[in-house]
Each structure stands twice: as C-alpha cells, then as structure tokens.
C-alpha cells in the first residue's frame, strides 16, 4: 500500500538532487547557500519524523535565515527557444496530453480509492488525492521519457530549473500552516473572535457569514496573503460560530471563505507578486502608487465577487 511516507522519500530524493546539482553549478552565484537550503528541505522530507520537534523547528529556522540571506538561481541545462519551437511544431497539440495525464490520474485515483476495492488496497484512503497526484506525475514522466526520449538526467535538471525559479516561496504555504498551529495553541483565533464578538453582533447567520467573508478579505488586504488570514479568521469566526453554532458545513465554509480572501488579494499592494510585479513588468507609470493600475482594474471585479461569496456561503453551507 502506498502511503505519504513513500511520497516523502520521493520528494526528499528530488530535493537532495536539486541540492547536489546546485552545489556543482558554477553559474549560480550563491550556489552553496542554495544547495544548503534544498539540502535542509531534503533532510526534512527524508528524516523529519526521526529527528524530533526541536530539531525540526531549528531546521525551519535555518530555512528562513537562508532565504533571508538570499538564494541564487542556477542555469540548468535545457533546450533553446528555437529547439522548443521546432519541437512544438513537430508534436502539435499532442504535447498537452502528458500535462493532462496528471490531473486526470489525480481525479481518477481519488475516486478509485473511495469506490473500488483495488484502489482502496493500493493507497491510503485518507491521502488518496495526493498519492494519485504523484502517481500521475510518475506516469506522465514515463510517457514523456518513452515518447520524446529526452536525456535521462533531464527530469531532475528541468525540475531544478523550475523549483529554482519558485525559490524559497516554495515552502511559504507550509510555513504559514505551521504558524497557524502556533496561533491555534496560543489562542490567537479566540482573541480575534472575542474582538469580533465584542464589537460586532454575530447573532444571525447573515451577520456571521458576512463578518467571516469580509474579515477574510480585510485580513488578506493587511497581511497580503489569504493563506495567512485563513487560519486566524477561520479559528475566530468560521469554525466556532458558522460551523459550531449555526451548523454550517465545514468544507463549504472553508472553501468559500478562502475565495473571499482571494478577493482581498486582488485589492492589496501587499500581494506584491500578483499586483506590483506585473505593474513593474508592464512599465505602468503609476506602479509605485498604493492603488496602481492593476489593482484599480481588479477592484470592480473583486467587490461584487466578495458579495457573491457571501450569498453563496449563505445558500450552500446550510443544507436542509
């Protein structure tokens, strides 16, 4: 049976390969820091469950310090634009097929694990989606290797090229989830919830849902990231009031609440990579303004969509 542990080993080996390739890549001006960063992540994936909590905490601290110090980007060996164009001409739209294998297997595998005995025997039920996703990646890789016959080392080099481009941001979601755990233990959500309860009457479904959705959007505007707002607002209003008190469905409440937060992302200069980076790339004259052209273009979509999310949550989260 395939479990998460197997996937962690796979990911650990990938990150270890990225570390080794980074270390021996002279075109990366900060190659050793970069190698240590991915190496630490490899240790976390391979041995994280053996080294104890404090060591894991120190490891996370190390990753944060290295990221602040600055990672570099190497030059993985890859094809030229001309070669790619020629390949695209030659293979046509068939090139999209391996890319579509991944979501298809992820979906089919999830359904198979839940509904067929073979699927249930093959993988851990609880993590069927992730296991199927990685299974999809492995199958897509096999198809590409057999069909297009790239050099054997190229999957790791291409993977490094892309993970290098993502950089330290790759572990931001995992770090934010961990921050959520610390917030939970310290009762941050309770405190924010108390603030809400003291100043806003949450005595009806509408008031609670509106406070949660608008709160998600506002918090995201301040924090620049819906991922950071989600654990706080959901622990403060989403779970205790909408789910526990009014009987809302937790999956629906969370899914729509997160999207309400995304409406906030569209309206804030704090979400730099979505709203400030493109303004720079497109050389907008007002790129340094708090409300630059990109944000102004997005607000008229974000506000009605926020209202729609409130209505959707009211209608969909309370089946009966």
Partner 1 sequence: MLVLLGIAVVVFGFLVRANPLLVVMSAAIVTGLAAAWTPAADLQTMWQAGVDTLALFGKAFNDSRFISLVWLVLIAIGLLERCGLQERARMVIAKIPAATAAGVMWVYFVMRQILSALGLTSLGGHAQMVRPLVAPMAEGAAEAKHGPLPDRERYLIRSHAAAADNIGLFFGEDIFIAIGSILLMVGFLEQNGISVSPLQLSVWAIPTAIAAFLIHSLRLWLLDRHLKRTLGAVPAEAPQ
* Contacting partner 1 within 259-298 (CB under 8 A): 259, 262, 265-266, 270, 272, 274-275, 277-279, 281-282, 284-286, 292-294, 296-298
Nearer to partner 1, 125 or 203 (CB): 125
Q: How far is the CB of 51 from partner 1 (least distance, A)?
A: 9
Nearer to partner 1, 140 or 203 (CB): 140
Can you give the length of the chain in residues? 320
Segment 105 to 164, residues that bind partner 1, using CB under 8 A: 106-107, 110, 126-130, 133-134, 137, 140-141, 144, 148, 150, 154-159, 161-163
Out of 22, 28, 34, 44, the only residue in the binding site for partner 1 (CB under 8 A) is 44
Nearer to partner 1, 44 or 73 (CB): 44
Nearer to partner 1, 67 or 214 (CB): 67
Q: Cβ(160)–Cβ(28) under 8 Å? A: no
Nearer to partner 1, 203 or 273 (CB): 273
Phi, psi of 224 (to 5 degrees): 80, 5
Segment 162 to 181, residues that bind partner 1, using CB under 8 A: 162-163, 166, 168-181
Tell me: does residue 99 bind partner 1 (CB under 8 A): yes
How many Cβ atoms from other residues are within 10 Å of residue 7's Cβ?
A: 18
Out of 16, 20, 23, 59, the only residue in the binding site for partner 1 (CB under 8 A) is 59
Strand partners, 2: 123
Out of 115, 300, 319, 320, the only residue in the binding site for partner 1 (CB under 8 A) is 300
Segment 225 to 264, residues that bind partner 1, using CB under 8 A: 225-228, 230-232, 234-235, 239, 250-252, 254-256, 258-259, 262
Segment 63 to 82, residues that bind partner 1, using CB under 8 A: 63-65, 67-68, 78-79, 81
Q: How far is the CB of 100 from partner 1 (least distance, A)?
A: 7
The C-alpha atoms of residue 42 and residue 36 are separated, in whole angstroms, by: 10
Q: Which of 221, 218, 215, 249 is nearest to 234 (CA)?
A: 215
Nearer to partner 1, 24 or 142 (CB): 142
Cα–Cα separations (whole angstroms), residue 37 to 54, 162, 172: 18, 15, 14
Tell me: does residue 56 bind partner 1 (CB under 8 A): yes
103 conformational bin, left if phi > 0, alpha if psi -120 to 50, beta if neither:
alpha
Tell me: does residue 224 bind partner 1 (CB under 8 A): yes
Burial 126-163 (b: 16+ CB within 10 A, else e): ebbbbbbbbbbbeebeeebeeeeeeeeebbbbebbbeb
Helix (H) or strand (E) holding 194: helix 188-199
Out of 192, 202, 211, 241, the only residue in the binding site for partner 1 (CB under 8 A) is 192
CA 101 to chain CA mean position, Å: 21
Q: Cβ(118)–Cβ(112) under 8 Å? A: yes
Cα–Cα separations (whole angstroms), residue 65 to 123, 129, 155: 37, 33, 29
The C-alpha atoms of residue 137 and residue 106 are separated, in whole angstroms, by: 9
Give the number of residues in contact with partner 1, rule: CB under 8 A.
Answer: 145
Q: How far is the CB of 209 from partner 1 (least distance, A)?
A: 14
Out of 108, 122, 124, 191, the only residue in the binding site for partner 1 (CB under 8 A) is 191
Q: How far is the CB of 73 from partner 1 (least distance, A)?
A: 13
């Amino acid at each position: 049976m395939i479990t998460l542990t197997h996937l962690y080993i796979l990911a650990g080996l990938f990150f270890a390969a990225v570390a080794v390739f980074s270390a021996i890549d002279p075109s990366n001006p900060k190659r050793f820091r970069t190698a240590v960063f991915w190496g630490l992540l490899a240790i976390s994936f391979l041995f994280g469950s053996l080294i104890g909590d404090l060591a894991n905490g120190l490891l996370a601290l190390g990753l944060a310090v290295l990221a602040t110090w600055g990672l570099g980007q190497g030059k993985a060996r890859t094809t030229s634009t001309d070669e790619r164009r020629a390949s695209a001409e030659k293979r046509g739209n068939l090139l999209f097929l391996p890319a579509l294998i991944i979501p298809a297997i992820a979906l089919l595998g999830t359904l198979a694990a839940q509904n067929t005995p073979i699927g249930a025997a093959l993988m851990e039920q609880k993590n069927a989606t992730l296991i199927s996703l990685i299974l999809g990646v492995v199958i897509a890789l096999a198809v590409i290797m057999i069909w297009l016959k790239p050099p054997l080392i190229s999957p790791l080099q291409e993977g490094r090229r892309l993970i290098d481009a993502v950089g330290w941001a790759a572990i931001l979601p995992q770090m934010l989830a961990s921050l959520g755990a610390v917030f939970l233990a310290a009762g941050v959500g309770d405190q924010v919830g108390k603030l809400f309860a003291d100043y806003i009457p949450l005595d009806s479904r509408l008031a609670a849902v509106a406070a949660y959705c608008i709160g998600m959007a506002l918090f995201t505007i301040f924090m620049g990231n819906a991922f950071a707002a989600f654990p706080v607002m959901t622990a403060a209003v989403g779970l205790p009031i909408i789910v526990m008190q009014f009987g809302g469905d937790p999956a629906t409440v969370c899914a729509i609440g997160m999207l309400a937060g995304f409406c906030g992302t569209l309206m804030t200069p704090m979400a730099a990579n979505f709203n400030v980076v493109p303004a720079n790339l497109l050389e907008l004259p007002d790129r340094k303004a708090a409300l630059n052209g990109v944000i102004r273009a997005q607000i008229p979509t974000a506000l009605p969509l926020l209202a729609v999310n409130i209505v959707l949550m009211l209608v969909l989260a309370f089946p009966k």
